[in-house]
Structure 1
Amino acid sequence: MKHISILVPRGHTSLVNIEGSHQILSEVNSFLGEMGRAPMFTVQLVGLEKGTSQRNGLFIITPDVLIDEVKKTDLIIIPSLHGDQKEAAARNAEFVPWIQKQYQQGAEVASLCIAAFFLASTGLLNGKPCTTHWKMAAAFRDMYPNVNLMDNKIITEADGIYTSGGAYSYLNLLLYLIEKYAGRDIAVLASKGYAIDIDRMSQSPFIIFEGQKTHQDEPIKQVQQFIEGNYHDKLTVDELSDKFAFGRRSFERRFKKATGNTVMEYVQRIKIEAAKRDFETSRKNINEVIYDVGYTDTKAFRTVFKKITGLTPVEYRNKFNKLEMVA
């Protein structure tokens, strides 16, 4: 039997992560029983206090046990902690030495969505790959530069540390763990029983590029706004640096420092985001969209689009365009 500890943190945490993980992992034992096999998991809610208030008292979660009652566990699941991540980490700091000790004793650790922030605060993610909700990627990189964030991924795994991408992609991590512990056949049963798309490994198709403007470099923000308003034109580094009176080298260095992207990466992301909107909402054919966002080389566009979204233009349009589905 594997002991699974689902943490019940203080503050505003994801009830869906907690209850969903508890339900699905507990159901694995039922699947196994129906096949005449022994149960696999003992699933417990593990907290810091006997009653943990959630959402300003709207809900109270009562853990099965407190951390000092769990001497050894096999898997720790950390649900999303919402709000200011530094405050959330400070509020739940008592979990950290317990998680570190359990990991040293052989336990594996999984973070769900933005719980990656709290997991990173333990130091266990340093030098390891990690994913989180794509919308929080820039903030995560700022707070934890020593972690290898791969925000296009649904799941990462390294040395017994697992992370999942945005929101309900935690379900894919649960299936991944079920397959690892109980076998592919049980994971497929869980996939069918809960209508979860098994083997989905990328959140790239769901990422909305909003431009990194949390920095304080106002001249660079002006460049960003210009790019976003003129994405249909062919934009080059030299033209942009001349227009805004930057030396090319200092411009590229300053833009990368402020946004996390090179100038041309940013231009590409803005053009691809505009193309995605067209694919989602219009009846334009693929080449019309390509030309409208300022590409003349259709092969280059398709290559960049697939790299950023994980899908071809046709696959993306078919997935997200309701007009196409109705037609």
Structure 2
Amino acid sequence: MKHYQIAVIAYPHCLLSAVYGFAETFELANEACAETGLDVRITTHILREADLLKDQDPQPLYHAVLLPPSLEKASYSEKTSSINDFLIQQHQQGAMLCSACAGAFFLAYTGLTDKRVMTTHWALEGLFKERFPNQPMDTSKILINQGDVISAGGMMSWMDLALELVQSLTNAHIVRQLGKILVIDTGKREQRYYQQFQPNLDHGDAAILAVQHYLQGHFAELQRNESMAARAKLTPRTFLRRFAKCTGLNPNEYIQRLRIQMACNALEQTTLPFESIALQIGYEDVGSCRKAFQKIMGLTPSAFRQRFVSVNPQ
């Protein structure tokens, strides 16, 4: 029998529903394996910080170490030595390191992910880039599997991570069985379907902030870099440099993200056809708007409305 040992680190303020959800999902996978005659067993070990500090000889060997999401920024905004040392040690012994949502911070602190593309919750992207400016990041993805490092995005992405691990340790049939038992969709999806554009407004640059506030109410109008620079009382070159530093986007990209977010809001909250929405948010060419929408959101406008609007708005 193949027997896999999985460690879940229950650090302070982590999402306990994920901690125990991992264990329960793996137990359900064990039952599915038994029913189908697959000779695989997964044992879950829930470890707290005190467990990581124990001097054990030999050190336990885990096939994978999981970092769940967190409800408290303070729990992941600084490196925790005990967790960091444990992760590095386990990785050196062959363990896969896996994170969901804010758990990605713990993996990045180790330095082991510097060359690996990771994902985390889309709303944490700004803080993550601030902490780890050289870390490759793609928050459009729900899950990125790099073999020995797996990261998942949203708060509930621990379920995607659990299913990914089950598939790697068993097979696709067991995952489909779990989907039926849990009544969840085991098909591939992307985090960008759910993301909202939340511009950074706490960067402290008053000149750029004034332009951002102006664009919030005038995104549908034609905006030129020269006029925005004049509003900020800066030269165009200085304006472009400071705008990109504060927002992570150039002005054209920023305006496009504002417009697409407004299109998402209109698709969810109204019954207007997309052609009308495109004109309202500043696109003269509906085809260009549709193309930009699909590039940013990963769905066509009609697929987006179908996914997120269960009943017709009144």
Q: Residue 221 of structure 1 corresponds to which residue in structure 2?
A: 209
Q: Supply the distance in 1 between the matched residues of 2:75 and 2:157 (Cα, whole angstroms).
A: 24
Task: Supply the AA of the counterpart residue of 1:42.
Answer: T
| Cα deviation, residue 286, structure 1 | 0.8
> Among residues 256, 275, 282, which one is paired with 2:263 in the alignment?
275
| Cα deviation, residue 85, structure 1 | 4.2
> Among residues 6, 9, 32, which one is paired with 2:8 in the alignment?
6
Query: What's the secondary structure of 2:40's corresponding residue?
Result: coil
Q: Residue 278 of structure 2 corresponds to which residue in structure 1?
A: 290
Q: Residue 95 of structure 2 corresponds to which residue in structure 1?
A: 107
Q: Does 1:84 align with 2:85?
A: no
Task: Supply the AA of the counterpart residue of 2:21.
Answer: G
Query: What's the secondary structure of 2:233's corresponding residue?
Result: coil
Q: Does 1:74 align with 2:76?
A: no
Q: Residue 181 of structure 1 corresponds to which residue in structure 2?
A: 169
Number of residue pairs matched by the alignment: 311
- 1:282-308 deviation digits (Å, cap 9, x = unpaired): 111111000000100111111110111
Task: Supply the AA of the counterpart residue of 2:20.
Answer: E
Q: 1:173 to 1:86 in 2, by over 3 A?
A: closer
| Cα deviation, residue 105, structure 1 | 1.3
Q: 1:86 to 1:146 in 2, by over 3 A?
A: farther
Task: Supply the AA of the counterpart residue of 1:257.
Answer: K
Q: Residue 59 of structure 1 corresponds to which residue in structure 2?
A: none
Q: 1:201 to 1:319 in 2, by over 3 A?
A: closer
Q: Supply the distance in 2 between the matched residues of 1:100 and 1:110 (Cα, whole angstroms).
A: 12
- 1:77-132 deviation digits (Å, cap 9, x = unpaired): 11123323476644x42121121011011110101111111221111221211111
Q: Supply the distance in 2 between the matched residues of 1:89 and 1:73 (Cα, whole angstroms).
A: 25
Task: Supply the AA of the counterpart residue of 2:200.
Answer: Q
Q: Supply the distance in 1 between the matched residues of 2:291 and 2:55 (Cα, whole angstroms).
A: 49
Task: Supply the AA of the counterpart residue of 1:78.
Answer: L
Task: Supply the AA of the counterpart residue of 1:143.
Answer: R
Where do 5+ consecutive residues of structure 2 fail to align? Answer: none
> Among residues 122, 138, 142, which one is paired with 1:150 in the alignment?
138
Q: What percentage of residue pairs aligned between the two structures are identical?
A: 25
Q: Residue 287 of structure 2 corresponds to which residue in structure 1?
A: 299
Q: Is the 8 A contact 1:6 1:44 kept in 2?
A: yes
Q: Is the 8 A contact 2:77 2:105 kept in 1?
A: no
Q: 1:187 to 1:66 in 2, by over 3 A?
A: farther
Q: Is the 8 A contact 1:217 1:258 kept in 2?
A: yes
Task: Supply the AA of the counterpart residue of 2:88.
Answer: Q
Q: Does 1:39 align with 2:40?
A: yes
Task: Supply the AA of the counterpart residue of 1:270.
Answer: L
Q: Residue 125 of structure 1 corresponds to which residue in structure 2?
A: 113
Q: Is the 8 A contact 2:208 2:232 kept in 1?
A: no
| Cα deviation, residue 20, structure 1 | 0.5
Q: Is the 8 A contact 1:238 1:248 kept in 2?
A: yes
Where do 5+ consecutive residues of structure 1 fail to align? Answer: 51-62
| Cα deviation, residue 321, structure 1 | 2.5
| Cα deviation, residue 229, structure 1 | 0.8
Task: Supply the AA of the counterpart residue of 1:260.
Answer: G
TM-score, with normalisation over the residues of structure 2? 0.93
Q: 1:86 to 1:254 in 2, by over 3 A?
A: farther
Q: Does 1:135 align with 2:119?
A: no
Q: Does 1:49 align with 2:38?
A: no
